[in-house]
Chain A
Amino acid sequence: MPSEMIRLFGVNHKTTPLAVREKLALSSGYEEPLSRLAALPGCREVYLLSTCNRVEVLVVAEDGADVDTIIPAFLFGEAVSADKYHEYLFSYQGDDAVHHLFMVAASLDSMIVGEAQILGQIKEAYRHASVGASGPILNKLLHKAFSVAKRVRTETRIGSAAVSISYAAVELARKIFGGLQDKKVLLIGAGEMAELAAENLVGQGVTEVTVANRTLANGVALAKRFRGRAVALDELMVELERADIVISSTGATEVILHRDDLRPIMRARRNRPIFFIDIAVPRDLDPALNELENIFLYDIDDLNNVVEMNKSEREREAISARRIVDEETLKFRAWLDGLAVNPTIAALRRKGEAICRAELERTLPRLGELDDQQRQALEKMTAAICSKFLHDPLCYLKSDDHRDQTAAKIRTTHKVFGLEDDQA
């Protein structure tokens, strides 16, 4: 079973604009396209992945199947004319297909390298494919992809540092407060960015959200989203005594909180730490706040810097992650080669056993009366001769070379030992 039969076709965010990908996205779910795919001639095993950034088809093709035309046609349907396929489509075969799948699973091919979502999406896709569409090879391949992704996650720190502003804010909050479970968030201004940042914090366990806004109605609307309270901007000082994390995003042209405003508040808070996030441009908060004890102030530029630093850390980690993917691709190759030589090994053994049996049947009647023990000893001896004789050819078949010569080895073995050709 040569690995050239594993084929991968797809489009992703790098090769294909969103306008085209939109038309391909399989809105009808996985079942219907999978069954259409499995029904295509020559596709022994199939698997399909569809996310907002990529659509990929993985097949194990039968010999002589014309997958190069039928799969792209399946993929693009009516959306793109056949002569434009090559502009968008990438296709891999054998080791390259395996490598690509591993890269995707390990989130090295993602728009944001290291993001964790893709693995879940692949598992979901495989859950559908495993019901009848995939087979022994793809099952093994997909499981291998999961373990590669896991290995990359545990052995590198590719996913550890926050690479978006709102996650950077969460990471900082964790280093200040430890757990965020009982922390209170105060939003000053009801902008979209504030909403996004608060969303992530709530996802991390923050329980209470308060919105202070100039127009109370907008504040109430946003507060409702987090099941929080809305207060008027005049009540800001009172609210500051209670809040732990303050996200400011008003459209004010002047600074709304000065260093000296905070002194009495810190006394009233008994110095409990407070984390200010100023995402407004121009800034809402006096930069000098950061100089006060137990106050930590990050503005939008500071957060961007954190994100940039984390991104370059990810780039470095991606290098060792790629090495892992390369390694695992080789290992899968070895498994596949094992699969390819298995029929030959079986044929070799069958032939040896047949010879032993034939010779025993001829010799035993001529030896006269033998008890069971003697008979068994004789049988054991012939089997031992046979397996010792076959030991070296089997080693030769299973041996690892720098270059792949499996097909040639199989041919040689068949010729030398006169095995039937239908096993090749």
Chain B
Amino acid sequence: MTFESVMMIEEISYLLFQLVLLVSFMSAAAYVVFFVSRRDQVRTIARAILMASGLLQTGYIVSRYFLAGYTPITSQHEAVVFFAWSVTWAYLSFRWRYTVKNFGTLVSILVVGLLLVAALVSREVAPLPPALQSHWLPVHAGVAMFSYGFLALAFCGGFMYLVQEWELKSKRLGYFFVRLPSLDSLDQLNRHCLTTGFVFLTLGIITGSLWARQAWGTYWQWDPKETWSLITWLLYAAQMHQRLTVGWRGRRAAIMAIVGFLSVLFTLWGVSFLLGGAHSYAQ
């Protein structure tokens, strides 16, 4: 690529990210207005804006790909943008199958939160370290991020479940009672997102271990990130097992979705900052 075209892409990429921030913020604002006012027209608008935000995020990631020459998922900034992107599209794909009242409000706020984190860290395009120059990079990191997207939805659903359950149990049917969906639909959301997220998480760990075999000659080396991924995986596996055998659902499933997601966040950020190890390229 010529110098001019690189400059141009850089410019476009910069503008796209600013636009992504703005549009995502608008979608969250529109969803909050819908949450308060309960007007259906507002929801239609909010959905359209979130869809636009999803498309813009895709555009930004593509621009970043051309700029860096590799799948943009290695730096802190890139990983978090990819995370937000997968949450957005996991939600939009989910929305297509089920409607869960006011779910979009929480999800759009989460997306804005992630994008704000991405905006605060360095956006520099760094050359790819030799260890990461592999075809496994997009597969492994992409699959892992996709699982995080669905697990984030399960987290949002779990949170909503706990609030709605509290309203019903305490018999104080107030502000949230009318606005939140039924417990049953939240539990179904939990099941759907957890199953999908768990499958991707498993694939992420398998591809990672195959890549490790190729790059370092061993499938597993107890690197902190690997260890925490395994802990996360075990947490979700235990929950899946309990749901299938004794029918864990409702409150317990909601709490587990929240605990599991906290473990995901720690695997993503905590490990890199606190524990170091082979995965800590992203600083």
Contacts and interface: CB of A to CB of B under 8 A. Distances in A.
Contact of A178 (B171, B184, B248, B250): B184
B185 A172 contact: no
B24 interface: no
Contact of A305 (B171, B177, B251, B252): B171
B192 interface: no
What's the dominant secondary structure at chain B's contact region? helix
B182 interface: yes
B246 A270 contact: yes
A225 interface: no
A302 B169 CA distance: 11
Interface string A293-322: 110101000100110010000000000000
Given A270-B246, A271-B246, A309 B251 contact: no
Interface string B229-263: 00000000000000000111111100000000000
A177 B169 CA distance: 14
A298 B171 contact: yes
B252 to A, nearest CB: 7
Contact of A302 (B171, B246, B251): B171
Contacts of A294: 249-251
Specify which of A269, A270, A302 lies most central, judged by the most chain B CB atoms within 10 Å of its CB: A270
20 contacts: A160-B178, A161-B178, A174-B182, A175-B183, A176-B168, A176-B183, A177-B184, A178-B182, A267-B246, A270-B246, A270-B247, A272-B249, A273-B183, A273-B250, A293-B250, A293-B252, A294-B249, A294-B251, A296-B168, A296-B169
Nearest to A313: B178
A175 B169 CA distance: 12
Interface residues of B, number: 20
A306 to B, nearest CB: 6
Interface string A259-286: 0000000010111110000000000000
A290 interface: yes
B267 interface: no
A309 B178 CA distance: 12
A312 B251 CA distance: 31
Nearest to B188: A178
B164 interface: yes
Contacts of B248: 271
A384 B171 CA distance: 73
Nearest to A298: B171
A161 to B, nearest CB: 8
B173 interface: yes
Most chain A Cβ neighbours within 10 Å, of B38, B164, B168, B181: B168
